[in-house]
Chains A and B, each alone.
Chain A
Amino acid sequence: MIIGGLRKLGQVTLFLGSLLAQCGPALARPRLVVHQIYNAGARSLIIIMLSGLFVGMVLALTGIDLLARFGSEDVLGVAAALGLLKELGPVVTALLFAGRAGTSLTSEIGLMRATDQLTAMEMMAVNPMRYVAAPRFLGGIIAMPLLVAIFDIVGLFGAQLVGVQQMKVNAGTFWSQMQGAVHLDDVVEGIIKSLSFGFACTLIAVYEGYNASPTAEGVGLATTRTVVASAVLTLIIDYLLTAAFL
């Protein structure tokens, strides 16, 4: 069990090494990376924006219920902004990303493996790491912070919708308190978190797909493992990074 875990960790690390080695050559073909940014990012836009809107709205709703008991509705903007920027934005986006983009990466690469496309590429002296794995990895890492930023903005809009439009918190107070309390560090923390989550989730997705058993069942199992491992790893990294930035 322990040996197995160590072996898996070693395999992922070695895979990451060869993946990073191929990232430079993959960047030389930006068209492949752009395609993957489209797949991972642009096609996740709708679900990210919809989730962001509702997360922001529910944040404002619970926040105002709690804050009204202390007569301090004026800090609603601060609570919503910090909650979104530092925790909910990166974490929820990463979970959605694992479900939306991670699974499609794993099953796509796994299916390539199952239908011997990767082997065929190797036969033709085309490195599948360079043309299949690395562009997807880069695309995911680039798309993730952008998705988080969009999630945050839409979330703030949602919080504003409930807090200011519905619950009648003063709009000036809402925004000025937010600007007074949010520092550049908080934004940077969110960006670093999103980059780390993007890195972890995409690495897991590509690794699982690349090493999936070449059967229908194997691809299915690999996809499940991607979601589970991404979610757990995201939450663990989130705790560690939050502790580090505190």
Chain B
Amino acid sequence: MRSTRNLEVGTGLFVLLGFAALAFLTTQLPSSGLKLGGSKSGYKVLAKFDNIGDLKPGAPVSMAGVNIGEVEGIKFDAKDYKAAVTLRISTAYNQIPDDSDASIQTQGLLGGKYIGIGPGGSDMFLKDGSTIPFTQSAIVLESLVNKFFANFAQRGGGGGGGDSGSPDSSAAPSGDATKEKQK
């Protein structure tokens, strides 16, 4: 009798522990699991970006560094060739001015992208379905590096042709001058 009771208690404990662990893993760990509870609350706001980089659905939306929502969906708007990003912002933060700006920022140097919202000065607030008017695209590191090197090469060419350490504005004319010399 005692051994059957031990068996039942042991099995019950094991099954309880196991299902508690499973429940924790499925609901608490993944961001999508948390969304199950949070998806009902919150209002949707649209923002259009020229370039979203590698922003993904589920990325955080933050304001002054505080997480206030997440990216719900990303679509391509064929009419004006922009990325239409749907943000879901928690209803607790329903006093964001409707002339706020949204920018795509990077966590750390190479971390994931997130959307930062900077407050505007309007008396009207963003509500469900409204669009954030001012956006700033993701800074794509490669294009930044390309721009830097193009600039650098241009300056280097101008410097080799004539006066060294010339300011940026005089780089183009001095380049022309070397071409004329070569002719």
CB–CB A187/B14 < 8 A:
no
Tell me, yes or no, whether B33 is within 8 Å of chain A by CB.
yes
Query: Contact between A38 and B21 (Cβ–Cβ < 8 Å)?
Result: no
Whole-angstrom distance from the CB of A229 to the nearest CB of chain B?
26
Stretch at the interface among A98-106, A119-127, A141-149: A141-149
A45 in contact with B31 (CB, 8 Å) = no
Q: How many residues of A contact B (CB 8 A)?
A: 32
B7 beta carbon closer than 8 Å to chain A: yes
Enumerate chain B residues within 8 angstroms of A187, measured Cβ to Cβ. 25-26, 29-30, 33
CB contact list, B92-130 vs A, under 8 A: 108, 110-112
Whether A146 pairs with B17 at a CB distance below 8 angstroms is yes
Q: Report B23 CB to chain A, min CB distance, Å.
A: 9
- State which residues 1-45 of B face A: CB under 8 Å: 7-8, 10-11, 13-15, 17-19, 21-22, 24-26, 28-34
The secondary structure that dominates the B interface is: helix
Question: Is A180 within 8 A of B58, CB to CB?
Answer: yes
Q: Is B69 positioned at the interface, with any CB of A under 8 Å from its CB?
A: no
- Report the Cα distance A178→B31, complex, angstroms: 9
Chain A residues engaging chain B, CB cutoff 8 angstroms: 34-35, 37-38, 41-43, 45, 72, 74, 81, 85, 143, 145-147, 149-150, 152-153, 178-184, 186-188, 190-191
22 examples of A-B residue contacts, CB within 8 angstroms: A34-B8, A35-B7, A41-B11, A41-B15, A42-B11, A42-B14, A72-B111, A81-B29, A85-B29, A146-B14, A149-B24, A152-B25, A178-B29, A179-B28, A179-B29, A180-B58, A182-B29, A183-B30, A183-B31, A183-B32, A187-B26, A191-B22
